[in-house]
A and B are shown apart, each in its own frame.
Chain A
Amino acid sequence: MRSLVTATATELARRLDAGEVAAREVIDAHLDRIAAVDDSVGAFLEVTADHARARADEIDSRRAAGDDVPATAGVPIAIKDLFCTTGIPTTAASRILAGWRPPYDATVVRKIADAGLVMVGKANMDEFAMGSSTENSAYQPTRNPWNLDRVPGGSSGGSVAAVAGLMAPLAVGTDTGGSIRQPAALTGTVGLKPTYGRVSRYGIVAFASSLDQAGPIARTVEDTALLHQVISGHDPLDSTSIPEPVGDVMARLRDGVDGMRIGVVNELSGEGYEVGVSARFDESLRRFESLGATIVEASLPHAPYGLPAYYLVAPSEASSNLARYDGTLFGIRVDGETSAEMSANTRAAGFGVEVKRRIMIGTYALSAGYFDAYYQQASRVRTLILRDFERAFADVDVLVSPTSPTVAFPLGDKTADPLAMYLNDVATVPASLAGIPALSLPNGVDEAGLPTGLQIMAPTLREDLALRVAWAFEQDLGFSPIPVGHNTVAVP
């Protein structure tokens, strides 16, 4: 049982494909693990045990019958509760969608099913993906498997906690301003935000349409690449989906970094970052040099304006995307004398504080008289950041920075100060605004034993490059993703 839940997805696939283990065994092992520890972690809003067992049995029959079954069939996966899953509650961790069962699947969900990956549950998150700690979930907080008094980061906190807590080897999350990368950094896992448009957004409950991107989460770079290969690719149901073929992401995964130029972003490194974070980052740079890469200075002059720009663009788009939640066609309803009253009452009761805050900011930023100074100006800054990246990539292969200025902080620490919470995204937001791929992987732990993360940013469409750099680093570092330290989740 231990070996099944600590194994990587790649290893499980090998064993499943070779007939060494049945899908049902694998799934049962993970469901047992969830039953044993999720009460203390809170990674899942819904554990889809019956669904998972049925799928596993089906996969085993088909393998037994000699059918053509993908090698990955039977590997468990956690799915952030932002992805529409037919007939299975999809709440975006909000009261306003309590019990809502979508009548259709997200494209990503369909691709996951086609690859034979088995959904074991819908993962917790910050409500409507708005947050950096998963404390904004309307249902429950999620606790960091590395220290149960601390946050796992957000908004994909449940997804990373499921993986870090050995409840699934794979998870799919979404990243709008850092919501895969930052929680991955805080939980010692690997998370990738692909190029905007690489992965279909069809069926993903929208937060900020020009920024949202689904991405893979795993304990190893190879597994991350494997899942990215499954979920990425053009989708005619999403107008912003990139037509360019993804290619074989793993073809050059193991090519190493010898001779590569790695740029350290001036504006995103060191100042205001926790001691442990900065120390591990500096060591990471030395490690790259020892592997044959050249470390150079790089600059993204407008990066400091990234977070302010993000907190105008994202809430603006969100205020429009969330207008549909009004008790008319789906979700909960709170009555009123008129339909306008009914919708205002429904929204007041159904949305949490952070969501309301962002709707109000976004409404304001789009309103007549303010549109140009706020939304438009932020969109212009976005162009400048894009150009900064283009200029930087002309000189280097990839750019690096610490993923997050902090390690996992205690629950409740930043909930009283929204701005302090927003600052968690200061390093991740520029890549989101530019739409370029960016990945986080563990680069050690701080003096208290809490994981720190390294961010690798690559040019548009070059997820393969980010993964290759990450793999070389990971192999050399030898970080163990099994939580160890003070107050961790029970380890099998």
Chain B
Amino acid sequence: MSTPWSLDGFELVCGLEVHVELTALRTKMFSAEPIDFGGAPNTRVGPVSAGLPGSLPVVNGAAVEAAARLGLALNCDVAERCQFHRKNYFYPDLPKNYQISQYDVPLCHDGWLEIEVDGDDLRIGIERVHMEEDTAKSSHEGDTGRLHGADRSLIDLNRAGIPLLECVSHPDIRRLEEAQAYLRELVAIARALGISNARMEEGSIRCDANVSVRRPGEEYGTRTEIKNLNSVRSVGRAIAHEAERQVRLLQDGGNVVQETRHWDEDRGVTETLRRKETLADYRYFPDPDLVAIVHPAGRVEQLRASLPELPAATRSRLVEVGVAASQAATIVAGDLVRWFDEAASMGAAPDAIGNWLAGEVTGQLGAAGLEPADSGMTGAHVGELLGLIADGSLSNALAKQVLEGVIEARGAKSPAQVAQERGLEQVSDEGELRAIVEQVIADNSDTVESIRGGNDKAIGALVGQVMKATRGQADPTLTNQLLRELIG
């Protein structure tokens, strides 16, 4: 069990604001313009997301449902009545110079997320989940391509209006690992609900951290908001850096300024965003163009009943059928549950599936830089592979090579096909193997003598020789058996 973050008597107080882009939806939050992440700039835009004079928003019903389901998965109350508000501020990536969002009556509120860190189970409180629209994308032309020092900026409106869910936690986080576990679990939940592919590298899930420090028992300290956290690892590093920065500042007699800071991954530091971040007055008021959203109790129960198996339940289920807990966690976090279930339905043993998915499959996909969804592989491939191992056609070693081949072919070839094409079938024919074993024995009389003399371990060398002669395809169990039989 590990202890909370602490430095010179200061403790960490951290909350996370996570934005989830609803990549599973087909249209934007307030208009029927299509969502398409690959589109050329400004080709997925209509009057509404361009904020043209006279345009009006109409709510995407599927987005509301997705938001309610996320809230319920996070144990929130779904508001019987909620409203969209306008958040007014001027910025070039905001076509209307206001963002349609939610203010004091959000869709979901007062929930929690259970996480496990180093054997501790704890709850991080969730203040709210609300709906809003994404902003346009600006790119900057200048020497560095960054905001500062740019000569001018270019605006692409494709992203403007894409549905976003904002999830705000209470400042309950006390350890870096908690922040990371919280984020990972939120990712897993979003994917399990099928509302977003939740990929930090792609920006379909974004995390800002609110960080402050204090001596235990004292009032909350002034907090800063850290932006530009592009991976779970960055989240941990940035919080650690910022907390230490604040402690040193306070020890030097300074004050923490309430501001937004930008995390620089390369240099490992946070720095003030030079954009004027005076306490903004967003002049929130209910959006007169959008009417209230009502969720009667019956509807909420309907939604709750429709929730799929959530990650925590999936992990338990996997453990119950014999998968190691850490493997279950890897499988759920790695989006491999569907493959597990499919392989299991084909008759593969759960613990074997668990080993393979959490081990070799995760490793090889990671090495190839692929997410399961992009690999072209299926759970049927996994099931088939395990079947070939079980019936003796492949050894574990050979199966690893076959897996490589399936991944390389992006799933276009089945394991059986790859094995055949590459001549990777295990040699299990006793007659064939016996002949080879006899040959190896004949060629290695010294080693054989050593084994007969009691040096049992030396048999490994002979197994190796048999493997060499069969290009690694000899059935290891049978090989061992034959060697012992023939050596005596």
Direct contact of A and B (CB under 8 A): yes
Report yes or no: B283 in contact with A102, Cβ–Cβ below 8 A.
no
Q: How far is the CB of B255 from chain A (nearest CB, A)?
A: 23
Q: A104-B47, A330-B52 are in contact. Are A324 and B95 (CB under 8 A)?
A: yes
Stretch at the interface among A59-67, A204-212, A294-302: A204-212
Per-residue CB contact flags for chain B residues 64-108 toward chain A (1 = under 8 Å, else 0) read: 000000000000000000000010101010011110000000000
Closest to B48 in A: A237
Report yes or no: B54 in contact with A202, Cβ–Cβ below 8 A.
yes
Q: How far is B47's CA from A208's CA once the two chains are assembled, in angstroms?
A: 19
Stretch at the interface among B169-177, B288-296, B317-325, B468-476: B288-296
Q: A326 touches which one: B47, B97, B281, B288 (CB < 8 A)?
A: B97
The reply to whether the CB of B482 lies closer than 8 angstroms to some CB of chain A is: no
Report yes or no: A239 in contact with B54, Cβ–Cβ below 8 A.
no
Q: A92-B53, A324-B96 are in contact. Are A210 and B288 (CB under 8 A)?
A: yes
Q: How far is B51's CA from A329's CA once the two chains are assembled, in angstroms?
A: 9
Enumerate chain B residues within 8 angstroms of A368, measured Cβ to Cβ. Answer: 281, 283
Report yes or no: A329 in contact with B281, Cβ–Cβ below 8 A.
no
The reply to whether the CB of B285 lies closer than 8 angstroms to some CB of chain A is: yes
Report yes or no: A320 in contact with B92, Cβ–Cβ below 8 A.
no
Report yes or no: B88 in contact with A320, Cβ–Cβ below 8 A.
yes
Report yes or no: A328 in contact with B155, Cβ–Cβ below 8 A.
yes
Q: A102 touches which one: B54, B98, B155 (CB < 8 A)?
A: B54
The reply to whether the CB of A343 lies closer than 8 angstroms to some CB of chain B is: yes
Q: How far is B138's CA from A328's CA once the two chains are assembled, in angstroms?
A: 12
Closest to B86 in A: A320
Q: How far is the CB of A126 from chain B (nearest CB, A)?
A: 16
Q: A323 touches which one: B47, B97, B155, B285 (CB < 8 A)?
A: B97
Report yes or no: A371 in contact with B283, Cβ–Cβ below 8 A.
yes
The reply to whether the CB of A317 lies closer than 8 angstroms to some CB of chain B is: yes
In the complex, which residues 320-354 of chain A have their Cβ closer than 8 Å to any Cβ of chain B? 320, 323-326, 328-330, 339-340, 343
Q: How far is B287's CA from A206's CA once the two chains are assembled, in angstroms?
A: 13
In the complex, which residues 34-72 of chain B have their Cβ closer than 8 Å to any Cβ of chain A? 47, 50-59
Enumerate chain B residues within 8 angstroms of A319, measured Cβ to Cβ. Answer: 88, 283
Q: A343 touches which one: B47, B90, B157 (CB < 8 A)?
A: B90
Q: B288 touches which one: A84, A104, A209, A325 (CB < 8 A)?
A: A209
Q: A320-B98, A328-B92, A339-B92 are in contact. Are A371 and B52 (CB under 8 A)?
A: no
Enumerate chain B residues within 8 angstroms of A97, measured Cβ to Cβ. Answer: 53
Q: A239-B290, A320-B285, A329-B95 are in contact. Are A205 and B90 (CB under 8 A)?
A: no
Report yes or no: B58 in contact with A237, Cβ–Cβ below 8 A.
yes
Q: A366-B285, A368-B281 are in contact. Are A84 and B53 (CB under 8 A)?
A: yes
The reply to whether the CB of A415 lies closer than 8 angstroms to some CB of chain B is: no
Report yes or no: A363 in contact with B53, Cβ–Cβ below 8 A.
no
Report yes or no: B52 in contact with A104, Cβ–Cβ below 8 A.
yes
Closest to B282 in A: A368
Q: B289 touches which one: A103, A106, A240, A366 (CB < 8 A)?
A: A240
Per-residue CB contact flags for chain A residues 358-397 toward chain B (1 = under 8 Å, else 0) read: 0000010011100100010000000000000000000000
The reply to whether the CB of A203 lies closer than 8 angstroms to some CB of chain B is: yes
Per-residue CB contact flags for chain B residues 135-162 toward chain A (1 = under 8 Å, else 0) read: 0000000000000000001010100000
Q: A239 touches which one: B56, B86, B155 (CB < 8 A)?
A: B56
Report yes or no: A367 in contact with B281, Cβ–Cβ below 8 A.
yes
Q: How far is the CB of A330 from chain B (nearest CB, A)?
A: 6
A: residues with CB less than 8 A from B are: 83-84, 90, 92, 97, 100, 102-104, 106, 201-206, 208-210, 236-240, 316-317, 319-320, 323-326, 328-330, 339-340, 343, 363, 366-368, 371, 375
List 22 A–B pairs whose Cβ atoms lie within 8 Å, in order of A's numbering: A97-B53, A104-B52, A104-B54, A106-B54, A202-B54, A202-B56, A206-B53, A208-B288, A209-B288, A209-B289, A236-B58, A239-B57, A239-B58, A317-B288, A319-B88, A323-B96, A324-B96, A329-B95, A329-B157, A330-B52, A366-B88, A371-B285
8 additional A-B pairs beyond A205-B53, A316-B285, beta carbons within 8 Å, are: A84-B52, A97-B53, A102-B52, A201-B56, A204-B54, A236-B58, A317-B285, A328-B95
